[in-house]
Chain A
Amino acid sequence: MRGLGELEAKVMDVLWSASGPLRVREVLERLDTPRPLAYTTVMTVLDNLHGKGWVRRNRAGRAYEYTASESRAEAGAKLLRDVLASSGDAERVLLHFARSATPEESDILRRALNRRGGRG
């Protein structure tokens, strides 16, 4: 599953807070954005989310109804698993409480402790 843009995350927030499937117009009404959005903008965002696998849609009459494909908790757990598993940017941007250390970092710590142990 690919990442989300800011507007996409807000749309997901609306879908997760809703009790049932929502139409584009209903999503638009519940969105809290600094500037009012166009109907087509929200429709495009929902279409992208569908393409990325974040939402499911069913035809209801002439329009689509959208639901989140997994719950908020499931998405959160998946996000954290991605953070743990990924290297690269995630590894470099975040400071973990108990992070994996490179051999060089472990070496710095161990050598410092040993030096002290040798002296005292």
Chain B
Amino acid sequence: MTVALGLLVATVVIGVAGPFYLRTAVTPSVRPGLALAGWVSSIALMVLTALVAAVVLLAPRAYVVDGLIGMSHSCVNAVRADGEAVWEHVARAAGAAAVFCALAWVAAVAGRLSWRRRRWRREHLALLRAVSRCERSVLWVDEDTPLAYSVGGRDGAVVATRGVARLGPRERDAILSHERAHMRGRHHLLVLLADVVAEALPFVPLCRRAPGAIRVLVELAADAAAARLHGPGSVRAGLLAVVGRGAPSTALAMSRDAVEVRLRWLGGERAAAGRPPGRAGYALAAALALAPALVSIGVVALGVLAYCLSVRPA
């Protein structure tokens, strides 16, 4: 019971406080890849703690799972002789059922969203392959406006217009590297994950804020990857070329504002540029994401211990 309680508290702490402590990682002095790892592992951890809590709640002899730190079961039994033990079973079953229902709902939303997007992607790619020509694993479309984007998935592709091919080699390579970084980092999948949890559990702050934060971070991570290969100056030139010559459509006009901030970001990040975040960096990000969960479990265990010590003598 103690472990299950601790895990449930950890789920709530990550879900509610997550956006606030993860926000501090979104700064030019922290690699965007690490901040991205922090967000994604926090979401995964929140789901995992809830799932394990539900399983522990349902386990027939849960006090065995509790082991050394679990005394709530025995001390509840000591305090209330019998009769009320039934309520404990009801509470356990209800808690577990709530968690399983929430997870099933997330799975249903994930299935629906990914199916709809896969269908859209397949149709778009079919048409795209017909109207473009493939060269150096990029689908080139005959269009003068410089424009580049990527379609995720196993059959995904980087798409660019003739306008991009006509830019200087620096700008062109930086733009294509940015899009290839999206493909390599499976950024489309991370964006889908964020959209799924936001649509399924909008009342959880971590889930509600995930799409905005993850979309920002994948762009910054791809900018950083392109800057490592071609230098921040090339990425900056690429961004300016695409936005500056864009048609006055609403989509491009709006992007001007976002690009302004990304340009400033590239300038500020220069100090941190250099080698990409290694395995140790990602392990560190995961460990930091884990810390709130461990602290929550520890605090609940201490709370139960204090409760037991205070009621035992009576």
Chain B residues positioned under 8 Å from A92 (CB to CB): 117, 191, 195
Spot the interface stretch: A20-28, A32-40, A56-64, A68-76.
Answer: A68-76
Cross-chain contact B258 with A109 (CB below 8 angstroms): yes
* Cα A6 to Cα B126 with chains together (Å): 5
* Cα A92 to Cα B130 with chains together (Å): 23
Q: Is residue B288 within 8 Å, beta carbon to beta carbon, of the partner chain? A: no
What per-residue 1/0 map shows which CB atoms of A7-35 lie under 8 Å from chain B?
01110110010000000000000000000
Q: Is residue B131 within 8 Å, beta carbon to beta carbon, of the partner chain? A: yes
Known contacts A3-B123, A76-B132; A116/B28 CB under 8 A: yes
Cross-chain contact A85 with B120 (CB below 8 angstroms): no
What per-residue 1/0 map shows which CB atoms of A94-107 lie under 8 Å from chain B?
11111111101110
Chain A residues positioned under 8 Å from B142 (CB to CB): 72-73, 76-77
* Chain A residue total in the interface (Cβ 8 A): 45
Q: Is residue B42 within 8 Å, beta carbon to beta carbon, of the partner chain? A: no
Chain B residues positioned under 8 Å from A9 (CB to CB): 126-127, 129-130
Q: What's the A-B contact tally at a CB cutoff of 8 Å?
A: 165
* Cα A83 to Cα B152 with chains together (Å): 15
Cross-chain contact B151 with A93 (CB below 8 angstroms): yes
B102-137 contacts to A, CB under 8 A, are 116-117, 120-124, 126-132
Known contacts A3-B127, A89-B116, A116-B27; A109/B262 CB under 8 A: yes
Known contacts A5-B126, A12-B130, A89-B116; A95/B255 CB under 8 A: no
Cross-chain contact A113 with B255 (CB below 8 angstroms): no
Chain B residues positioned under 8 Å from A106 (CB to CB): 257-258, 261
Chain A residues positioned under 8 Å from B268 (CB to CB): 113, 116
Cross-chain contact A109 with B261 (CB below 8 angstroms): yes
Q: What size tier do the contact residues of chain B reach?
A: 35 or more
* Cα A28 to Cα B59 with chains together (Å): 62
Chain B residues positioned under 8 Å from A5 (CB to CB): 123, 126
Q: Is residue B150 within 8 Å, beta carbon to beta carbon, of the partner chain? A: yes
Least CB distance from A86 to B in Å reads 9
CB < 8 Å: which of B120, B215, B249 contacts A93?
B120
CB < 8 Å: which of B130, B131, B242 contacts A10?
B130
Cross-chain contact B148 with A105 (CB below 8 angstroms): no
Least CB distance from A87 to B in Å reads 9
Chain B residues positioned under 8 Å from A113 (CB to CB): 28, 261, 264-265, 268
B214-253 contacts to A, CB under 8 A, are 215-216, 218-219, 222, 238-239, 242-243, 246, 249-252
Cross-chain contact A108 with B213 (CB below 8 angstroms): yes
B180-204 contacts to A, CB under 8 A, are 182, 187-188, 191, 195
On A, residues with C-beta under 8 Å from B are 3-6, 8-10, 12-13, 16, 72-73, 75-77, 79-81, 83-85, 89-90, 92-102, 104-106, 108-113, 115-116
A-B contact pairs, 17 of them (CB 8 A): A4-B126, A76-B131, A77-B142, A79-B127, A80-B141, A84-B147, A84-B249, A89-B120, A92-B117, A94-B150, A95-B149, A95-B188, A96-B149, A98-B255, A100-B250, A102-B212, A111-B23
